[in-house]
């Protein structure tokens, strides 16, 4: 995925809102474009509402990739992985995030907002954006996922 030329979709619930705002500033600093699907505040909201907006944008090829946040990340991951063309990977460290990109070619990175600091979240995003897909045996596994 070439993040330099594509727009990254962002989605969070109220729990992930603060980190999403930090990530937006990081993306801007890197000169990357994004579309923010919400949430727009820390007022209580349902992650599903924003996950579906991001999921539909990727499913329709409006966007190629995204970053989503909620408390544990599991709600976003479960919701987004219902879409056939989405491989959403949950990462709570930069190392795992690199594997989400390098091995799983995930088109959505999920971050558990309650369990990472701002500094950790930015390292997670950086690893996701900067780790290329390795292909090889990992491509074979992705093909098996897609053929199910």
Catalytic positions: 70, 103
* Distance separating alpha carbons of residues 63 and 35, to the nearest angstrom: 9
Residues forming a β-bridge with 90: 110
Q: Nearest Cα to 33, choosing from 10, 56, 60? A: 10
* Distance separating alpha carbons of residues 15 and 126, to the nearest angstrom: 21
* Distance separating alpha carbons of residues 130 and 148, to the nearest angstrom: 29
The DSSP output letter for 73 is: S
Residue 3 φ then ψ, to 5°? -70, -15
* Distance separating alpha carbons of residues 41 and 13, to the nearest angstrom: 8
């Amino acid at each position: 995925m070439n993040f330099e030329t594509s727009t990254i979709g962002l989605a969070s619930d109220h729990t992930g809102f603060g980190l999403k705002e930090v990530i937006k500033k990081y993306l801007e600093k890197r000169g990357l474009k994004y579309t923010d699907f919400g949430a727009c505040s820390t007022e209580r909201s349902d992650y599903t509402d924003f996950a579906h907006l991001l999921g539909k944008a990727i499913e329709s090829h409006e966007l190629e990739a995204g970053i989503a946040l909620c408390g544990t990340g599991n709600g976003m991951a479960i919701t987004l992985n219902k879409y056939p063309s989405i491989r959403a990977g949950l990462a709570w460290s930069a190392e795992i995030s690199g594997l989400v990109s390098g091995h799983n070619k995930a088109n959505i990175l999920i971050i558990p907002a309650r369990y990472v600091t701002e500094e950790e979240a930015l390292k997670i995003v950086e690893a996701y954006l900067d780790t290329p897909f390795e292909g090889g045996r990992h491509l074979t596994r992705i093909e098996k996922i897609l053929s199910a």
